[in-house]
């Protein structure tokens, strides 16, 4: 027999490749549905939906997966509801009665026996369970009924397949008998050859036969085909034409197989190759001198595809090991975050971002080694759950504290409002100053209420001190009020809670700076002390957040190290000049406040304002020069 009439080469096929017992095709695992997180009812509904669709191939793909998930979930829920050991034994008994991953029956007798298998029963359980004794009895009974329907459908499908294959066997046996008769007595070759081609076409149009009978049937068929070509005195022109046609068809199959050998998708290439082999089997022979050559070409492409297919699975296993290592590292990072001891909302915000980044990275990593995949996922999920549960508890407690602080501040507002119209200036001043001290000692309040309650308290204080100022007719009371307001603002900065959002925190810092500028002058002897407290409070709370918000301050350059003396550069001299002008402007602006209420001070005030205006212009010029020098460096 010629090599090109051999069956499909399978020696290089992946030994772990599985085939569907019902269809004879490799199962397709692409886009598999995940049932692991579904409830018992959802699993029952899914199985019923597949049964209603009556797609036996889809049922073969998912029924056993649904069954395994159903009994795994049933076991967990029984234990969770108090069944404990008894429930566990019951589920195990049920699982033992319904074998997992049971192969489909391949014969009509096996298919028939599959339909007669009794529904699995729980060992040691009563014959008829009720919802009163077992709350899961009804849903389990419903699942078993659906599973029984599936098995009956499967058996019916297999019976139909086996029946069809037997019918095909009978048809091909008749075709073979006619072919034998034609070979033994070809008669008139002009009539025999068209009949021979007709028999070949009928053979190809007939489907598969039972596997156990296929080899002998096909061997006999190809033998008689060769005998017809080789030994019958056929017209040489027709013979050569048929050989040429078959050679062209096989060369095209070789070309397609070679293209598959170059494909980057080894799985798809392997599946496509199986179809090419089926087509190859159905083609007739070629000229003897070409048979070995064309077969070797096709076999070489087949070997390349098979080797790539095997290498794909080996590489996949290596990648799964690498994925396990990467996921283990993410688990360790997540566990470190989950075990952190935190007391500020800003820290929680920062770690939340870190944890979310870990979750995003987790989703970019593929499956780990099969036996470790579920375990490593549960480990990572446990760390995430621990962190977010602790965060939720922290914010719950923090909200309670904010609410308590709000109640305390509202109480201070009521006390301030009760005395804001008093004319007992000394006593009421002491009362309000004491209330302001208490205000400072109270922690933060809900953000949406912070400005509102502060405005209410300040309004009450302002009402009294404005009245006092009018009554005294002097500036001292107003400056005392401003001093109290600035100290209150310093305390507000100290008690402010950072959000962790850089833009929001910078805006909060700007708001504090604007409020500080809005407050009027304070007693001169307190000026330096309060100003220093204000700067320290800003630095302690916001650190370097606002560094890039002051591009022109001190020329926008860091002070050079003073560990060793050196010659000042022109740029250094300009920076020093810039800093000195800033200090002069601050001094002049502060002095204006001391002279604006004095009689005959208008000329002096005008002089100060002119100095300030000129100094600011000079500052702009210096800033431009310094930036130009920095750009040239």
- Express each pLDDT in 278-298 by its tens digit: 888 888 888 888 889 889 989
pLDDT: is 500 or 498 the higher one? 498
Residue 474 confidence (pLDDT) above 60: no
CB atoms within 10 A of CB 205: 9
Full-prediction pTM beyond 0.85?
no
| Angle of CA points 454, 481, 473, to nearest 5° | 135
Longest dimension (CA), the chain: 143
Q: Can you tell me the distance from the alpha carbon of 492 to that of 479, in angstroms, rounded to the nearest whole number?
A: 20
pLDDT of residue 343: 57
Query: pLDDT-based confidence at 545, cuts 50/70/90?
Result: low
pLDDT: is 259 or 2 the higher one? 259
- Tell me the two tokens of residue 278: 């089926």
CB atoms within 10 A of CB 282: 10
607 belongs to a structural domain? yes
- Tell me the two tokens of residue 447: 């953000």
Query: pLDDT-based confidence at 302, cuts 50/70/90?
Result: very high
Query: Per-residue pLDDT averaged across 541-545, rounded?
Result: 74
588 belongs to a structural domain? yes
The CA radius of gyration of the chain, in Å to the nearest whole number, is 45
* Token pair 């095997």: residue: 310
User: What are the tens digits of pLDDT across the range 79-102?
Assistant: 887 765 454 565 556 555 554 444
313 belongs to a structural domain? no
pLDDT of residue 603: 64
Domain of residue 614: give its range: 567-633
- Tell me the two tokens of residue 526: 């307190």
Residue 521 confidence (pLDDT) above 60: yes
Distances (CA, A) of 24 to 20, 273, 415: 5, 15, 88
pLDDT of residue 123: 37
pLDDT of residue 181: 86
Distances (CA, A) of 631 to 51, 272, 568, 578, 625: 76, 64, 19, 18, 10
613 belongs to a structural domain? yes
612 belongs to a structural domain? yes
589 belongs to a structural domain? yes
- Tell me the two tokens of residue 200: 């070949």
Q: Can you tell me the distance from the alpha carbon of 175 to that of 173, in angstroms, rounded to the nearest whole number?
A: 5
Query: Per-residue pLDDT averaged across 580-587, rounded?
Result: 72
Q: Can you tell me the distance from the alpha carbon of 138 to that of 484, in angstroms, rounded to the nearest whole number?
A: 75
Query: pLDDT-based confidence at 557, cuts 50/70/90?
Result: very low
Query: pLDDT-based confidence at 303, cuts 50/70/90?
Result: very high
Q: Can you tell me the distance from the alpha carbon of 311 to that of 318, in angstroms, rounded to the nearest whole number?
A: 11
Share of the chain above pLDDT 90, in %: 4
Contact predicate 405/443, CB 8 Å: yes
Residue 546 confidence (pLDDT) above 70: no
- Tell me the two tokens of residue 593: 């406040």
- Tell me the two tokens of residue 393: 């508890």
Contacts 24+ apart (CB under 8 A), 321-329: 321/368, 321/369, 323/365, 323/366, 323/367, 323/368, 324/368, 324/369, 324/372, 324/373, 324/376, 326/365, 327/362, 327/365, 327/368, 327/376, 327/377, 327/380, 328/376
Question: How many helices (H) and strands (E) are present in the chain, helices listed first?
Answer: 19, 0
pLDDT of residue 173: 92
Query: Per-residue pLDDT averaged across 221-236, rounded?
Result: 72
Structural domain total, the chain: 1
pLDDT of residue 473: 53
Q: Can you tell me the distance from the alpha carbon of 358 to that of 92, in angstroms, rounded to the nearest whole number?
A: 38
User: What are the tens digits of pLDDT across the range 359-402?
Assistant: 988 888 888 777 888 888 988 899 899 888 888 877 677 677 78
- HSE-CB of 88 using CA atoms within 13 angstroms: 5
Query: pLDDT-based confidence at 23, cuts 50/70/90?
Result: very low
Residue 20 confidence (pLDDT) above 50: no
pLDDT: is 590 or 511 the higher one? 511
140 belongs to a structural domain? no
User: What are the tens digits of pLDDT across the range 169-191?
Assistant: 989 899 989 888 888 877 776 77
Residue 61 confidence (pLDDT) above 50: yes
526 belongs to a structural domain? no
In 130-236, where do the E strands start and end? none
* Token pair 């029956």: residue: 105
Using left for φ > 0, alpha for ψ between -120 and 50, and beta otherwise, residue 34 falls in beta
User: What are the tens digits of pLDDT across the range 30-56?
Assistant: 467 888 788 888 888 888 888 888 788
pLDDT of residue 8: 27
Lowest mean pLDDT among 186-190, 341-345, 535-539: 341-345
């Amino acid at each position: 027999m010629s090599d090109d009439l051999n069956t499909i080469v399978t020696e290089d096929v992946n030994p772990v490749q599985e085939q569907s017992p019902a269809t004879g095709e490799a199962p397709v695992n692409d886009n598999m549905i995940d049932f692991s997180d579904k409830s018992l009812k959802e699993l029952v509904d899914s199985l019923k939906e597949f049964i209603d669709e009556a797609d036996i191939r889809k049922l073969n793909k998912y029924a056993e997966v649904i069954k395994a998930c159903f009994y795994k979930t049933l076991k967990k829920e029984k234990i969770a509801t108090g069944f404990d050991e008894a429930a566990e034994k019951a589920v195990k008994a049920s699982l033992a009665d319904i074998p997992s991953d049971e192969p489909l029956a391949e014969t009509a007798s096996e298919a028939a026996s599959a339909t007669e298998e009794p529904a699995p029963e729980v060992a040691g359980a009563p014959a008829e369970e009720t919802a009163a004794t077992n709350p899961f009895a009804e849903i389990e009974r419903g699942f078993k009924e659906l599973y029984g329907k599936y098995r009956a459908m499967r058996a019916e499908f297999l019976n139909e397949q086996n029946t069809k294959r037997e019918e095909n066997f009978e048809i091909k046996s008749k075709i073979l008998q006619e072919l034998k008769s034609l070979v033994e007595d070809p008669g008139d070759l002009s009539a025999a050859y068209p009949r021979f081609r007709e028999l070949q076409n009928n053979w190809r149009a007939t489907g598969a036969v039972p596997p156990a009978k296929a080899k002998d049937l096909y061997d006999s068929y190809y033998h008689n085909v060769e005998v017809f070509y080789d030994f019958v005195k056929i017209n040489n022109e027709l013979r050569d034409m048929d050989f040429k046609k078959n050679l062209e068809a096989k060369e095209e199959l070789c070309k397609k197989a070679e293209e598959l050998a170059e494909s980057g998708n080894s799985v798809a290439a392997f599946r496509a190759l199986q179809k090419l082999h089926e087509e190859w089997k159905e083609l007739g022979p070629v000229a003897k001198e070409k048979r070995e050559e064309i077969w070797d070409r096709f076999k070489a492409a087949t070997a390349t595809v098979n080797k790539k297919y095997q290498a794909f699975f080996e590489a996949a296993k290596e990648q799964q090991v690498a994925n396990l290592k990467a996921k283990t590292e993410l688990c360790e990072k997540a566990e470190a975050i989950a075990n952190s001891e935190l007391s500020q909302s800003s820290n929680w915000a920062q770690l939340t971002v870190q944890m979310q980044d870990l979750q995003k990275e987790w989703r970019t990593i593929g499956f780990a080694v099969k036996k470790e995949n579920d375990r490593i996922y549960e480990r990572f999920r446990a760390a995430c759950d621990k962190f977010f549960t602790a965060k939720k508890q922290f914010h719950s407690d923090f909200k309670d504290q904010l609410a308590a602080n709000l109640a305390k501040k509202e109480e201070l507002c009521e006390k301030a409002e009760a005395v804001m119209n008093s004319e007992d200036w000394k006593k009421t001043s002491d009362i309000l100053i004491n209330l302001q001290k208490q205000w400072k000692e109270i922690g933060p309040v809900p953000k949406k209420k912070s400005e509102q309650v502060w405005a209410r308290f300040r309004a009450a204080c302002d009402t009294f001190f404005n009245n006092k100022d009018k009554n005294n007719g002097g500036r001292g009371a107003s400056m005392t009020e401003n001093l109290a307001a600035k100290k209150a603002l310093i305390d507000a900065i100290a008690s402010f809670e950072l959000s962790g959002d850089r833009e929001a925190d910078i805006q909060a810092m700007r708001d504090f700076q604007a409020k500080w500028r809005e407050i009027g002058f304070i007693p001169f002897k307190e000026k330096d002390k309060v100003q220093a407290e204000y700067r320290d409070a800003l630095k302690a709370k916001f650190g370097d957040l606002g560094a890039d918000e002051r591009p022109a301050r001190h020329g926008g350059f860091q002070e050079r190290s003073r560990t060793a003396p050196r010659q000042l550069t022109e740029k250094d001299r300009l920076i020093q000049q810039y800093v000195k002008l800033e200090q002069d402007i601050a001094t002049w602006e502060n002095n204006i406040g001391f002279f604006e209420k004095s009689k005959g001070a208008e000329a002096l005030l005008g002089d100060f304002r002119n100095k300030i205006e000129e100094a600011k212009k000079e500052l702009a010029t210096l800033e431009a020069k310094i930036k130009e020098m920095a750009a040239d460096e």
